[in-house]
Structure 1
Amino acid sequence: MHRIRVVRHASERGGWEMALATPPPALAPLVRDYCGFREAMPQPMRRQELPGVQVVLILEFGPLLKHLDDVGGVTRHRSGFVAGLDERWSTTEHNGESHGLQVNLTPLGARRLFGLPMHELSHRVTGLEDLWGGEARRLVESLAEAPDWAARFAIADAFLLKRAERGPAVDAGVKWAVERIQRTGGQVDISTLASELGHSHKHLIHQFHEQVGLPPRRLARLLRFDRAVERIKSGGPVRWAELALELGYFDQAHLNRDFRQFTGGPPSALLRRALPDAGGFESGA
């Protein structure tokens, strides 16, 4: 059984429903979490999508989202899309209505599910039908016909478990290194990781390039940023200098530097654009 938490919002800006769920134990190494979404807004809605340590799979059974990159490109993808690991934000927009399921995959889970060298998915958005073909269409049709979120999560579970059975094995050393980076909150020396694995620094970077999508040092940096964003989402007061030290930044200036690279502005600007009730972040554009 899934643990499902449904969050609803209604105000002058419109309404949305977010169904948040954790995966079953068999999928936990592959799937970080699920978020089902349904929105009805009086006007188009544009959100800033932040980089993080998850590969984002979007399954769409409503009007298609527009994906806008940072150089002005606009794409739509029937059935959905996959956003690989990145170090820049992007923007999504819908015409006032959206309905779908977001699956936040671990990088190693994405490797199992898509069977590609992960650098081929990094820094880009790829149409799901380009990766899974007719399977993607059939999955989305099943999700659209399901009566509720619990049924949709069960359908997604079954599909992903079956898909993972056909996927390539993950290198045990890379898995250990990723888990070590996560356990330490990104505060681990990469040369030490390589030495403990019996690899050269260059070989470890190559392995991460193939199976994760980013080198270990850059993954660790994203992890620190991701945890800072989660703190903002929690809604409580934030003491930036204390948070910077807690997350392993040298000082608040280094935290601010990462936020400017990953969001386009300081942490306080992102905090002001946070939407209530699990709504994400409004675009500043």
Structure 2
Amino acid sequence: MISFSSNNIIFWMAFPDYPVNLFVDHFVLMKGTPAGQPEERIFPNNKAEVFFNLGDHLRGYSNDSDQEFRLKESVVSGLRHTYFSFHPGHYFSMAGLRFTLFGFHHLFAIPAQHFTNQNFDAMDVWGREMELVRERLMETKSEAGRISVLQDWITNRISGASLPDMLQWKKVEEKLSTLREPVASFLEKNIGYSHKHSLQLIKEKAGLTPKMIEKVNRFNRSLRMLNQSTFVSWANLALDAGYADQSHFIREFGHFTGFTPAVYLKDKPRIYKLYRQLELPSEDQE
């Protein structure tokens, strides 16, 4: 488990072993009293998420919707192709996890596209099961203990999932993350169905089309580069991340974050490092 802090918030992250890592990218805990920032933004990351609120109620909204969402006890969020803004309460305490690209669908057997760009109260989706998990989290005080509560919940869920099938889809996820060929040829070689059926299958299992998954992956490559830099050549960064040119990079970066790259680079120390793609500078790690 690693820990780091930002804006009076302490984060703990744990990365699961096999077979949980086929379904879950990482577990995370957050706790503290955020200072001086009325709004935070969560950028698209190709990961569905489940979080349990153990502190004050939160409120937030998606960039493409004026409808406010209030997080009282738990939330499940699907993949996004736009950013989500939220306002932390005075006492901020969360426990949750981010799924692998296809892990959410294979674990819960729910079409992932029903959750795309959406936030739902997890108790409305899974009922008493989520109440029990949250109760155990509230009763458990240590960080390691809370991670164990989350891992036990997922482990019990895995018993009904097909591991060989999930292994194959995990390989598809890994190849999509470094895609350097046309989507059509990738689907033909790696999925094995017709182009149309492959598109439908990935959207059902992930929540986004392969083309949008590729765009979000490319955006996150650029974000990792920015998180490791204090001065950059925008033209070189755009090409290294896989964009056609600098203007293409700036346009997509603005869509996914609401910031220009220059503004993000200037303000990044104040942005919650949970969403900095886990590639943390050494001075941020404890």
TM-score by length of 1: 0.86
| Cα separation, 2, equivalents of 1:258 and 1:134 | 40
- 2:93 aligned residue: 99
When residues 159 and 253 of structure 1 are mapped into structure 2, their CA distance, relative to the original with a 3 A threshold, is same
1:61-100 equivalent positions in 2, closer than 5 A: 61-70=54-63, 71-100=65-94
- 1:223 aligned residue: 217
| Cα separation, 2, equivalents of 1:265 and 1:213 | 25
Corresponding letter in the other structure for 2:175 = R
Q: CA RMSD in A?
A: 2.3
147-156 or 193-202, which deviates more? 193-202
- 2:22 aligned residue: 29
Confirm or deny: 8 A CA contact 1:45 1:96 kept in the other structure: no
246-255 or 43-52, which deviates more? 43-52
Q: For 1:130, what is the secondary structure of its paired residue?
A: helix
- 2:43 aligned residue: 50
Confirm or deny: 8 A CA contact 2:46 2:217 kept in the other structure: yes
- 1:149 aligned residue: 143
2:212 corresponds to 1:181 = no
When residues 165 and 188 of structure 1 are mapped into structure 2, their CA distance, relative to the original with a 3 A threshold, is farther
| Cα separation, 2, equivalents of 1:171 and 1:25 | 12
| Cα separation, 1, equivalents of 2:144 and 2:230 | 30
Instruction: Flag structure 1 segments of 5+ consecutive residues without an equivalent.
Output: none
- Structure 1 residue aligned with 2:259, among 252, 265, 273? 265
| Cα separation, 2, equivalents of 1:273 and 1:119 | 33
Q: For 1:275, what is the secondary structure of its paired residue?
A: helix
- 2:279 aligned residue: none
When residues 217 and 277 of structure 1 are mapped into structure 2, their CA distance, relative to the original with a 3 A threshold, is closer
| Cα separation, 1, equivalents of 2:193 and 2:167 | 13
Tell me how far 1:222 sits from its aligned partner: 0.6
Confirm or deny: 8 A CA contact 1:39 1:98 kept in the other structure: yes
Residue correspondences, number: 272
Confirm or deny: 8 A CA contact 1:44 1:96 kept in the other structure: no
When residues 23 and 82 of structure 1 are mapped into structure 2, their CA distance, relative to the original with a 3 A threshold, is same
Confirm or deny: 8 A CA contact 2:235 2:246 kept in the other structure: yes
Corresponding letter in the other structure for 1:89 = Y
Corresponding letter in the other structure for 1:180 = K
| Cα separation, 1, equivalents of 2:113 and 2:66 | 23
Q: For 1:25, what is the secondary structure of its paired residue?
A: coil
Cα distance per residue 1:30-55 (max 9 Å; x no partner): 11122210021356632011111111
| Cα separation, 2, equivalents of 1:187 and 1:83 | 28
Confirm or deny: 8 A CA contact 1:55 1:104 kept in the other structure: yes
Tell me how far 1:175 sits from its aligned partner: 4.5
171-180 or 131-140, which deviates more? 171-180
Tell me how far 1:224 sits from its aligned partner: 0.9
Q: For 1:207, what is the secondary structure of its paired residue?
A: helix
Identity, in percent, stands at 21
Q: For 2:29, what is the secondary structure of its paired residue?
A: strand
- 1:15 aligned residue: 8
Confirm or deny: 8 A CA contact 2:219 2:252 kept in the other structure: yes
1:245-264 equivalent positions in 2, closer than 5 A: 245-264=239-258
| Cα separation, 1, equivalents of 2:18 and 2:271 | 27
- Structure 1 residue aligned with 2:52, among 50, 59, 71? 59
Confirm or deny: 8 A CA contact 1:274 1:280 kept in the other structure: no
- Structure 1 residue aligned with 2:125, among 131, 138, 145? 131
